[in-house]
Chain A
Amino acid sequence: MRVAESLRIAAPRAAIWEFVSDGKRYPDFFADADRWEVIGEQSSGCGARWAIRLRVGSASVGGLVEITECDEPGNLAFTSITGVDMRGRWRLRERQPGLTDVEVRLAYQSPGGILGLLADRVSGPLVGRILKRSLRNLRDLLEGPPPR
């Protein structure tokens, strides 16, 4: 299952990179994260490992992921080592100074044959909502909360 969400944020790419590249910053903005913990000394850069549990439906789903690509300040990718098979990617593209398109992608595959496929289909929209809310949280952190 592949899920992707994007949002334009009025902030320089480097400022957004500070958040998405560091495992310690995720609890500040990532929605429905029951756990987002840095494992070991290294919290960012290739080889850093994060223990992730996202609340999807009735379970906290995730595992241990490792950063596999770290192309500052535009691309970051991680892949799972334990838990659910998944890959994630952040793409930051500065459209003009101080205005950045942020895209987050998550691809995952549940075990269990047909039921796994069905679970992927059902969970897709839920995961999409989590990504969307996370992007909005990130935007609010960088731009300030939207005017009411």
Chain B
Amino acid sequence: MSALFELGRNAGSWGARRLKARVPSADMDERDPDYIRDQLPGLWLLASVYFRARVRHLDRIPAEGPVLLVGNHSGGNMTPDTLVFTLAFSSYFGVERRFFQLAHNLVLLAPGLGLLRKFGTIAASPSNAHEVLSSASVLLVYPGGDYEVHRPSSERHKVDFAGRQGFLQLALDEGVPLVPIVSIGGQETALFLSRGEWLAKFLRLDRLARLKVLPISLALPWGINVGDFLGHLPLPAKITIDVLEPIDVRAEYGDDPTLDRAYTEVTGLMQEALDALAAERRLPVIG
């Protein structure tokens, strides 16, 4: 029995090493402004016609220099928030402004999604985040990651970073303004039933692929959708994104702050903004 267990563990470690080796390194030069410019009309059609998206207060983002954008994440593996925000950011500031997004390793490995690297999507890791910000670029992170993006639909109006505070340390270390962005509507693109944490643990996916969840949802065209690995056809939910005022973490909380307090206040601000967006919403999907 213990031999079998050991065999399973070794297989798991081997799989994890193989997967890690396949994750493309963060090459910021892969971002291609001309490619992004060519894609903007398609993104505009999708965002304007399908998602009827609206992005407010982009003028709150500092016009120059490095900025850390911190967002809540919704919509499962077919997250419309990033698409809508990338369009809005690139249109407002121009494709010339260097803008990167951190994504889960599996997103970059998914078939057909390699093109995301041309948009500036790179693998989520502390070293990549530091590299982007130290090159005076703008970085978008979703601290909640896979945990938040697969939350049940009943929690769709909840900011849930699962206690992850790395973004605050990143802003402190790099001395960059932190700008929260709050979106609503993404979690109405399917009926998300459960994160399936128990299933991920049972299948050891947390060790194999850094996956702490194995979401279960009702989504088009699959019906019951376990894992969302092949994505799904998102419902045309109205997406609204609000950019909040920049926060100077060092000025606000000191050189060596208690991250717990900063985390509570920043996520609290975001939750307030999300509550306000939810109050404006009359019906799910329709908006």
Using a CB–CB distance below 8 Å, which chain A residues touch chain B? 34-35, 53, 56-63, 82-83, 110-113, 115-116, 118-120, 122-123
Contact = CB atoms under 8 A, between A and B. Distances in A.
Nearest to A53: B92
B92 A57 contact: no
B51 A58 contact: yes
A118 B52 contact: no
Interface of B: 37-42, 44-45, 47-49, 51-55, 58-59, 84, 87-88, 91-92, 94, 96
A60 B48 contact: no
A111 to B, nearest CB: 5
Given A58-B54, A58-B55, A112-B38, A118 B88 contact: no
Contacts of B47: 57-59
A110 B91 CA distance: 12
A62 B7 CA distance: 59
A116 B42 CA distance: 7
B41 A111 contact: yes
Contact of B45 (A61, A63, A122): A122
Main SS class of interface, A: mixed
Contact of A115 (B41, B48, B87): B41
A1 B49 CA distance: 18
A36 to B, nearest CB: 12
A58 B94 contact: no
Contacts of B94: 63, 82-83
A118 B45 contact: yes
B58 A57 contact: no
A58 B41 contact: no
A99 to B, nearest CB: 38
A119 B92 contact: no
A21 to B, nearest CB: 25
A82 B44 CA distance: 18
Contacts of B40: 59, 110-112
Given A57-B49, A59-B92, A122-B49, 16 more contacts: A57-B47, A57-B48, A58-B47, A58-B87, A58-B88, A59-B48, A59-B88, A59-B91, A82-B96, A110-B40, A111-B41, A112-B37, A115-B41, A115-B42, A119-B41, A119-B44
A103 to B, nearest CB: 27
Cβ-closest 7 pairs across A and B = A57-B48, A119-B41, A58-B47, A59-B91, A58-B53, A115-B42, A112-B41
B91 A60 contact: yes
A34 B59 contact: yes
A40 to B, nearest CB: 15
A47 to B, nearest CB: 21
A26 B51 CA distance: 30
A59 B44 contact: yes
B54 to A, nearest CB: 7
B96 A115 contact: no
B265 to A, nearest CB: 29
A56 B44 CA distance: 9
B44 A57 contact: yes
20 contacts: A53-B92, A58-B47, A58-B52, A58-B53, A58-B54, A58-B88, A59-B47, A60-B58, A60-B91, A110-B41, A111-B41, A112-B37, A112-B38, A112-B41, A113-B38, A115-B45, A118-B45, A120-B41, A122-B45, A123-B48
Contact of B48 (A62, A111, A122): A122
Given A35-B59, A82-B96, A118 B48 contact: no
Contacts of B37: 111-112
Nearest to B53: A58
